[in-house]
């Protein structure tokens, strides 16, 4: 099986991995145990692991065609003792560990068709000559009504201390995630610096600057099972 054959799993990780690097470098972030949610081929997770931002990296992905590709890449890179792969719809797979330090991800960015079919100047974008048609599967880009984001954000405290997602400024804003938070969660950082992506990658993908990265941190006392002081007054 050839990684290049499966472009339906490529949702921007090939260049967004550099944006994650900018973010991790700017804030001097290093973690021990990590996972990539919505991993696809795992381009972001492998890059962060191999550049020493993490000591271990697991991969979580709902699309079964990604799973053998992830296993094959782990084997090829000799990372068997530092990576695991979980076929899972969000956190549904009960084998997923619950002690991550940070989960990263590039989830589906859009919650409806309006955003997906417009570009930065808000023209409607045709796809294959037909407005409304999409040639790529919805799984890669659509999180209708933010159902997936709501589920993941609710479940963060059970699985990780920090969640760090990349999103599109065309499709969302941090205030949307802020409204989904429980009392024990807070948005610790929002990063929207200009991309510093290698020139050959920029020209290949013709990338405008439209992404931002944000992190949600969990109140540590909550993770230790102590009562939230905000609930006691
Ligand atoms: C925007 S693509 C990102 C793929 C890859 N990480 C990258 O950056 O190129 C979103 C990925 O999320 C996966 N996905 C969608 N819904 C999911 C779910 N409920 N649980 C896990 N993964 C999901 C899709 O199959 C797809 O691979």
Render pLDDT for 197-215 as a digit per residue (tens, 0 to 9): 887 776 655 556 679 999 9
Q: How far apart are CA 12 and CA 196, in angstroms?
A: 15
Q: How far apart are CA 90 and CA 96, in angstroms?
A: 10
pLDDT for residue 85 is more than 90: yes
pLDDT for residue 227 is more than 90: no
pLDDT for residue 134 is more than 80: no
68/116: higher pLDDT:
68
If you measure from the C-alpha of residue 57 to the centroid of ligand 1, how many angstroms do you get, rounded to a whole number? Answer: 16
Render pLDDT for 5-38 as a digit per residue (tens, 0 to 9): 445 677 889 889 999 999 999 999 999 999 999 9
pLDDT for residue 221 is more than 80: no
Encoding tokens for residue 2? 């050839």
pTM (predicted TM-score): 0.88
If you measure from the C-alpha of residue 90 to the centroid of ligand 1, how many angstroms do you get, rounded to a whole number? Answer: 10
Q: How far apart are CA 175 and CA 44, in angstroms?
A: 25
Encoding tokens for residue 51? 């550049």
Q: From 62, 144, 207, give the residue whose CB has the most ligand 1 atoms within 8 Å, as the site to mutate.
A: 62
Residue ranges and CATH numbers for the domains of the chain are 7-210+217-225 (3.40.50.150)
């Amino acid at each position: 099986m050839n990684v290049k054959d499966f472009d339906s799993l490529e949702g921007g990780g090939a260049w967004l991995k550099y944006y994650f690097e900018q973010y991790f470098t700017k804030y001097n972030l290093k973690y021990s145990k990590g996972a990539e949610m919505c991993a696809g081929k795992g381009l972001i997770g492998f890059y962060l692991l191999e550049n020493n931002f993490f000591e271990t990296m697991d991969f979580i992905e709902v699309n079964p065609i990604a799973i053998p590709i992830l296993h094959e890449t782990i084997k090829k890179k000799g990372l068997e003792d530092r990576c695991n792969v979980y076929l899972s719809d969000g956190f549904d797979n009960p084998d997923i560990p619950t002690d991550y330090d940070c989960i990263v991800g590039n989830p589906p960015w859009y919650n409806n068709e309006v955003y997906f079919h417009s570009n930065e100047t808000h023209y409607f974008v045709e796809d294959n000559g037909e407005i409304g048609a999409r040639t790529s599967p919805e799984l890669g880009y659509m999180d209708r009504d933010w159902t997936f984001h709501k589920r993941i954000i609710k479940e963060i405290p059970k699985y990780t201390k920090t969640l760090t997602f990349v999103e599109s400024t065309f499709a969302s804003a941090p205030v949307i995630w802020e409204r989904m938070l429980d009392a024990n969660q807070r948005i610790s950082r929002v990063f929207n610096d200009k991309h510093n992506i290698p020139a050959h990658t920029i020209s290949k993908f013709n990338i405008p600057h439209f992404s931002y990265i944000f992190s949600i941190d969990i109140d540590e006392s909550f993770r230790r099972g102590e009562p939230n002081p905000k609930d006691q007054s």
